[in-house]
Amino acid sequence: MKKTLAIIAGASLLIFSSCTRDEDVLSPITEENVVLVEQESDEFLTIEEINTIIDKSLNEKGAFSWDDVPANVLWSAAVHGREMITVGYGNKGESFREGKSSRLEGIQNDILLTVAASESQTKSNLKYVSDAVLNVIDIHVTGLETIRDLKAMSNIRYLEPNGYSYFTSTPEVTVSTQQRSSSGCDMSGSNLNTNDYRTIAPGSLVSWTLDNHNVTQAWNESTGAGVTLAVIDTGISPNQPLLSPGSSGFGDGYSINNRTVEKYGTYIDSPWWWSNNIDGPNDRCGHGTSMISAATAPRNNDNKPVGVAYDANLVSYRGTADVLLNDYHERKGVSNALRALGDRSDVKIISMSIGYLWTIRNVRDAVRYAHNRGKLIFAAGGTSTEITNAYPVIFPASMPETIAVTGVTDANNYKRCDTCHSGPQIEFTIVMERDNDNSRTAAVLGFYGGDNDYVGGSSVATATTAGIAALVWAKYPNWSRTQVLNRMRQSSELYPNRSNAFGYGNIDANQAVQ
């Protein structure tokens, strides 16, 4: 199956949703725990040894948190991750600041002075990146004692080696030569089965998946006009003219000529964590282009697939190289994209068909920032290989601030797609896979002009749901996020009941816009 939110793993890798104590402030050293700290090992661990610890936690607890490992494990992982540690500071749950705060500035200064003293440097010589809004700072560290000193500080919410990649399990491989995951990436097109679409005026293809949710009927009431939907993913293909600005592109056919598409990039393509060399807005994977197509592709006259909200405005952020957030710059890129979108009053909906095995807390902090500013955030519940698809919802869909979505087949009873995750965090489901043929999924625009493609998994389910939300908000522009979400719930098949695996089930888009 192409372009899914794939979790690529070896036989030993298990995927679980993360239920960590990620709001806890790390405890300072006291008389009660100083003996335990003194007994910690000074051993530097290999990547293979660190991954063994992670595997053990996933297998035994169903979750993993860097809070639960000794200082030497954190130190080892930080060194393997380009000698960098991410520090979340402030009070419990204090993910971001609303303005200048002398208290928080003082905490950050204390952190820098502590690291400088431990590393035998001056503060001015430290290499660090401080976030302007989130209470997060990334700092260059080399010594075990630095980690111990940081763990002993008060007002530290978390320490994470965000440059460490769990998927590199060969001891000889260093971070500088790690290969990024190509999860969900595919730029090749597909020939569509004629039973998987129907043609409507002025010559657009409606994916069979949309008819399961009465989307075309909903268009009699709303097409998404006036709503701005954002997608954080791998960007937009520069080779797909129907996703380009202008009446002959994004406004092609029956779509509004002057609807807007904005393209940004926050992903930094560099092995050096302190680099600020932005990679640009263009998709180099294919996944982002597929998600944007599913949500907002124009109602074109070129015999190509149309998106759910074909009159909505679009803001695309290339925040990641692929769907798996296993690289420092992917985590930073997604965090920066969420921050930027949180600051935009015109953006109402954010769609993220990306994720990771456990909570990445600088991304978590950014999700909270965007949510605090009224954004309705949809996240993919998880799509995986057959080895891992028995496990629950992944991050950030596991967060209460996001709306988790997964995919189901067209079977009469609810049956998740072959590679989709399910669990109690799921709110909605989208039919996106033939029960008798898992290769026939949603029809979308291809990466290149003239191409069509299939895309499946919880990825396209999420983008489709975000598009339906845009239809509802366009029909009721003065509604709040809560009102839009409640209408979507009330328009779902299982409402008012909620399944422990599939939430409120399949959404009826036409009912939602009445």
pLDDT tens-digit map of 52-108: 999 888 888 878 899 999 999 999 999 999 999 999 999 999 999 999 999 999 999
Same domain membership, residue 173 and residue 39 = yes
Provide the β-strand partners of residue 199. 205
The reported pLDDT for the residue numbered 184 is: 84
Same domain membership, residue 218 and residue 118 = no
Q: Which of 177, 210, 241 is the last residue of a domain?
A: 177
The reported pLDDT for the residue numbered 367 is: 98
In the chain, the N- to C-terminal Cα span, in Å, equals 35
Q: Which residues are CB-neighbours of 428 under 8 A, at least 6 positions away? A: 403, 405, 461, 465, 488, 492, 503, 504, 505, 506, 507
Q: Is 25 a member of any domain?
A: no
Same domain membership, residue 351 and residue 485 = yes
Same domain membership, residue 244 and residue 315 = yes
Domain that holds residue 429: 194-512
Q: Is 225 a member of any domain?
A: yes
d(CA 370, CA 339): 6
Q: Which of 125, 142, 177 is the last residue of a domain?
A: 177
Q: Is 153 a member of any domain?
A: yes
Residue 15: left (phi > 0), alpha (psi -120 to 50), or beta?
A: beta
Burial of 36 (0-12, 13-18, 19+ CB in 10 A): exposed
Q: Is 21 a member of any domain?
A: no
Q: How far is CA 9 from CA 52, 166, 233, 274, 286, in A?
A: 14, 10, 21, 28, 20
Same domain membership, residue 343 and residue 223 = yes
Total count of domains within the chain? 2
Q: Is 8 a member of any domain?
A: no
Q: Is 7 a member of any domain?
A: no
Same domain membership, residue 212 and residue 155 = no
Q: Is 5 a member of any domain?
A: no
Same domain membership, residue 208 and residue 164 = no
Q: Residue 377's domain is classified under what CATH number?
A: 3.40.50.200
The reported pLDDT for the residue numbered 170 is: 42
Q: Could you list the mean pLDDT of each consecutive 10-residue stretch along the chain, which spans 514 residues?
A: 37 32 42 40 94 87 90 97 96 95 97 98 95 97 98 97 73 38 80 97 98 98 98 98 92 96 95 87 97 98 98 98 93 97 98 94 98 98 64 90 97 91 96 94 97 96 98 98 98 97 98 98
Helix (H, G, I), strand (E, B) or coil at 48: helix
Same domain membership, residue 85 and residue 233 = no
d(CA 421, CA 16): 10
Place of tokens 């998709």: 283
Q: Which of 133, 149, 177 is the last residue of a domain?
A: 177
DSSP 377-432: EEEE--B--TTTTTS-PPBTTTSTTSEEEEEEESSSS--B-TTB---TTEEEEEEE
Question: How many Cβ atoms from other residues are within 10 Å of residue 503's Cβ?
Answer: 25
Give me 359's structure tokens.
Answer: 């909570």
Q: Residue 78's domain is classified under what CATH number?
A: 3.30.70.1510
Place of tokens 């002057």: 258
Same domain membership, residue 201 and residue 84 = no
Q: Is 15 a member of any domain?
A: no
137-169 pLDDT, tens per residue?
999 999 999 999 999 999 999 999 999 987 644
Same domain membership, residue 291 and residue 149 = no
Mean pLDDT taken over the chain: 89
The reported pLDDT for the residue numbered 57 is: 87
Let me know: does 265 contact 383? Beta carbons within 8 Å. no
Same domain membership, residue 478 and residue 353 = yes
Same domain membership, residue 202 and residue 163 = no
The reported pLDDT for the residue numbered 194 is: 97
Q: Which residues are CB-neighbours of 23 under 8 A, at least 6 positions away? A: 92, 93, 157
